[in-house]
């Protein structure tokens, strides 16, 4: 079992009017950054980095970051900058990017170089996830949505090649062209940093991940549709001639632990407060229908079982109450004693090899997050590891998602050998 | 609705990578009509009137309506090249051409590539040229219905408004719009709805009689785009229909057709 920590890093500004249980709901891409308070922004960036350091100290295996653009609910618009800092200020945990928004990069050689640099400085702790991004990412960087999926696939192929094959080489693709690819930084890990694919909606991407044998992480989706989406992956894996197991699956959901049941509930309710977040059920804000219909962004006929739920949430039409989310375990809160069996239920239901606890979000304060991280480290993480062992839920770092074989036997290789071994 | 005046036949145009739909009606000189960014709008009054004088040819561009998409086509000029090949195959030359909005841009690209193929050119509220003042309405960040609403000055006064923008669009209609928006985004997402080199290339249309026309109150394509078209195409004329938005052919059909048929004579 691989256990990661995640928060969207919300821009929490009580003065903004877009904050708290009684705050105005935000309509996507309609809030001017004129209200942005740089002093507050600076404090928040540092707070979220401090929390990541503490999460590592408390025993989390992974420090997960994501990226969104032009939206108060997520301050992480340059995930590689945050990851670069973590590379130097942490020492054990993997830095899990879920992920870089591939299609919005017009020059993915920058990604080849930036991510390899992070892998260098962190001494091989980078887990490099990709996403297609939401409509707001395409709008913010003016990336053509109708070519989003083509650009995603081509950028992935290009990056893997640039990481694994000796340069210089040429790349004459449909969307990207280079005549001299020879970056003077190579990944520390061999053959390259592990890739993960997070998602909620696209059948294309889950099938693609299964074909590439890349672990798939479902993001805060409801349990049954999540299980069904994992089935889509498993069926594709069978078609490809391999058996997908826990090492191929990850799940992110909201978990908050506190000192008493009362305090845990009081704080967990803050998940659905704070700046509206289209991915945070119960506080999605007001949908921007034009964003949901960004032309060509998503294939209209190829969606996952979770899509109806996810897109409805994004549309604000299916705002699920805090109580409903608690009932179906998509929000888990309590003391360590009461939280552990609920986590067990999720692990039994979905059988993921990697989990990411989404915490410290919405209107939660730094102190709220630090208490939860401490209790997780002291009591929850050890118990979850035991449960995972009992349920036989190996992560993609223990069992190779491509082969289903344990990594134990594999020798660690030095960076010197990388250049001599082309191919993925 | 289209069925009421369905005096047109639909032909299939076969091109190497697929098939296109082409609606044909009337007798006389060929008049090629190129639709805008949402696809073929339906057989409207102006189609009917024009088909009384001309052999109206109204195709659906590749990727719109029922016409096959060409994956390689990423620019409006690519579609222009496809149409010129089709005109070659049909052995049509010296024809009259009229394009609406994004279809006006397409018509301008075709004319710039092969001016001798056309005898007269009408650009109706043409996109395709970057205005120095104002901005082309962002139809990708607004819904199709919002775009259509913005395309008329006074929707209540427009007879065919309920046809072009039904108060409760059917799922089929929504699908046509979304297919059209997607194809338009494939062709003109960035730069948004213009070709920066087009004004320079339009100077070639020295001998092609060109009319640039739109509503005086067009809030989709700024007047400045029309001005640049007018200044770039030697000898072109510019006409503005008063009390009309971006779709004068629907908002003020009588005034529009009077100017246009007079020009096309």
Q: What is the mean pLDDT of residues B134-150?
A: 97
Rounded to whole angstroms, the Cα distance separating A206 from A230 reads 8
Contacts of A295 in chain B (CB under 8 A): 140, 178, 181-182, 184-185
Beta-carbon contacts of B60 under 8 Å, excluding residues fewer than 6 positions away, are: B20, B21, B22, B35, B39, B40, B66, B67
Cβ <8 Å between A295 and B178: yes
- Biggest CA–CA distance in chain B, Å, is 46
Pairing assessment for the beta strands A169-172 and B55-59 based on DSSP bridges: unpaired
Sign of the Cα torsion A11, A15, A21, A27 reads: negative
When scoring A142, A293, A301 by the number of chain B Cβ atoms within 10 A, the one with the most, hence best to mutate, is: A293
- Listing DSSP states for A254-270 in one string gives EEEE-SSHHHHHHHHGG
Q: What is the mean pLDDT of residues B31-56?
A: 97
For A:232-291, CB contacts with B below 8 A are: 289-291
Contacts of A147 in chain B (CB under 8 A): 186
pLDDT at A343: 98
Q: Touching check for A315 and chain B: CB below 8 Å?
A: no
Distances, alpha carbon B230 to alpha carbons A40, A202, B131, B224, B225, in Å: 52, 46, 12, 10, 9
pLDDT at A318: 53
**8 Å CB contact between A321 and A282:** yes
Residue A20 token pair:
């708290």
The percent of residues in chain B predicted with pLDDT above 90, rounded, is 97
**Interval B117-135: pLDDT, tens:** 999 999 999 999 999 999 9
Q: Which fold has domain B2-264?
A: Rossmann fold (3.40.50)
Length of chain B: 265
Q: Which residues of A38-59 are buried (b: 16+ CB within 10 A; e: fewer)?
A: eeeeeebbebbbebbebbbebb
Q: Touching check for A145 and chain B: CB below 8 Å?
A: yes
pTM: 0.93
Cβ <8 Å between A146 and B182: yes
User: 3-state class of B123 per DSSP?
Assistant: strand
pLDDT at A314: 41
Contacts of A142 in chain B (CB under 8 A): 189-190
Cβ <8 Å between A147 and B186: yes
- H helices of B91-141, in order, are 102-113
Beta strands in A53-138 (DSSP E): 62-65, 94-101, 126-131
Residue A159 token pair:
């990056």
**8 Å CB contact between A5 and A373:** yes
Beta sheet of B30-34, edge-to-edge order: B9-15, B18-25, B55-59, B30-34, B95-100, B118-124, B209-215, B237-241
**Interval A48-70: pLDDT, tens:** 999 999 999 999 999 999 999 99
Radius of gyration of chain B (CA): 17
**Interval B1-18: pLDDT, tens:** 444 445 899 999 999 999
pLDDT < 50 stretches in chain A: 300-303, 309, 311-317, 412-424
pLDDT at B169: 96
Of A145, A71, A42, residue with least CA distance to A103: A145
pLDDT score of B137 more than 90:
yes
Nearest Cα residue in chain B from A295:
B182
Q: Touching check for B10 and chain A: CB below 8 Å?
A: no
Choose between B109 and A312: higher pLDDT.
Answer: B109
Rounded to whole angstroms, the Cα distance separating A131 from A203 reads 13
Cβ <8 Å between B178 and A294: no
Indicate the angle between helix axes B171-188 and B102-113, nearest 10 degrees: 40
Cβ <8 Å between B186 and A146: yes
CATH superfamily of A2-420: Luciferase-like domain (3.20.20.30)
Distance of CA A47 to the CA centre of its chain: 19
The angle at the Cα of B95, spanning B91 to B99, to the nearest 5 degrees, equals 120
Contacts of A296 in chain B (CB under 8 A): 181-182, 185-186
Contacts of A289 in chain B (CB under 8 A): 143
């Amino acid at each position: 079992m691989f256990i990661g920590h995640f928060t969207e890093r919300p821009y929490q500004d009580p003065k903004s009017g877009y904050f708290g249980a009684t705050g105005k709901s935000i309509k996507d891409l309609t809030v001017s950054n004129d209200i942005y308070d740089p002093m507050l922004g600076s404090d928040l960036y540092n707070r979220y980095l401090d929390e990541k350091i503490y999460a590592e100290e408390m025993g989390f295996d992974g420090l997960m970051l994501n990226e969104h653009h032009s939206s108060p609910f997520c301050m992480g618009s340059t995930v590689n900058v945050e990851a670069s800092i973590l590379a130097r200020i942490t020492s054990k945990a993997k830095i899990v990017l879920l992920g870089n928004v591939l299609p919005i990069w017009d020059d993915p050689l920058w990604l080849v170089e930036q991510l390899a640099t992070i892998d260098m400085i962190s001494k091989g702790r980078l887990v490099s996830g990709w996403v297609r991004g939401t409509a707001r990412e395409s709008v913010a960087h003016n990336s053509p949505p109708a070519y989003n999926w083509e650009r995603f696939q081509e950028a992935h192929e290009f990056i893997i090649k640039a990481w694994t094959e000796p340069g210089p080489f040429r790349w004459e693709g449909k969307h990207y062209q280079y005549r001299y690819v020879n970056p003077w930084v190579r990944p520390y890990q061999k053959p390259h940093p592990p890739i993960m694919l997070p998602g909620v909606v696209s059948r294309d991407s889950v099938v693609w991940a299964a074909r590439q044998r890349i672990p798939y992480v479902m993001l805060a989706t409801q349990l049954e549709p999540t299980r069904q989406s994992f089935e889509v992956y498993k069926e594709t894996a069978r078609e490809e001639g391999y058996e997908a197991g826990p090492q191929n699956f990850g799940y992110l959901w909201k978990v908050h632990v506190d000192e008493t049941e009362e305090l845990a509930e009081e704080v967990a309710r803050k998940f659905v407060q704070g700046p509206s977040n289209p991915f945070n059920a119960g506080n999605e804000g007001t949908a921007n229908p034009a964003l949901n219909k960004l032309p060509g962004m998503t294939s209209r006929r190829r969606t996952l079982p979770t899509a109806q739920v996810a897109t409805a949430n994004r549309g604000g039409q299916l705002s699920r109450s805090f109580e409903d989310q608690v009932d179906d375990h998509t929000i888990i809160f309590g003391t360590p004693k009461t939280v552990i069996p609920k986590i067990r239920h999720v692990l039994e239901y979905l059988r993921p090899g990697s989990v990411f606890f989404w915490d410290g979000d919405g209107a939660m304060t730094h102190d709220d997050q630090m208490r939860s991280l401490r209790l997780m480290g002291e009591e929850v993480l050890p118990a979850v590891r035991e449960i995972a062992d009992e349920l036989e839920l190996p992560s993609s770092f223990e069992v190779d998602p491509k082969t289903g074989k344990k990594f134990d036997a594999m020798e660690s290789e030095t960076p010197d050998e990388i250049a001599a071994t082309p191919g993925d | 609705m289209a069925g009421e005046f369905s005096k047109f036949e639909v032909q299939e145009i076969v091109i190497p990578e697929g098939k296109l739909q082409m609606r044909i009606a009337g007798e006389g000189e060929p008049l090629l009509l190129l639709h805008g960014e949402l696809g073929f709008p339906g057989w409207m009054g102006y189609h009917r009137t024009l088909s009384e004088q001309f052999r109206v040819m109204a195709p659906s561009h590749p990727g719109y309506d029922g016409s096959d998409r060409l994956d390689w086509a990423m620019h409006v000029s690519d579609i222009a090249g496809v149409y010129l090949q089709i005109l070659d195959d049909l052995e049509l030359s010296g024809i009259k051409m009229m394009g609406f909005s994004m279809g006006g841009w397409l018509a301008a690209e075709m004319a710039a590539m092969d001016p001798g193929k056309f005898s007269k050119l009408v650009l109706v509220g043409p996109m395709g040229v970057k205005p120095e003042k104002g901005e082309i309405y962002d139809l990708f960040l607004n819904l199709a219905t919002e775009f259509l609403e913005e395309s008329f000055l006074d929707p209540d006064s427009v007879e065919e408004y309920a046809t072009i923008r039904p108060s409760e669009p059917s799922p089929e209609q929504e699908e046509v719009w979304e297919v059209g928006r997607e194809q338009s985004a494939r062709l003109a997402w960035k730069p948004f709805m213009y070709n920066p080199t087009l004004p320079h290339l339009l100077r070639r249309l020295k001998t092609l009689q060109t009319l640039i026309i739109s509503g005086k109150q067009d809030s989709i394509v700024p007047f400045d785009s029309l001005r640049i078209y007018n200044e770039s195409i030697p000898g072109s004329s510019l006409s503005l229909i008063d009390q009309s938005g971006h779709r004068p052919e629907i908002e003020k059909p009588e005034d529009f057709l009077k100017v246009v048929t007079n020009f096309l004579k």
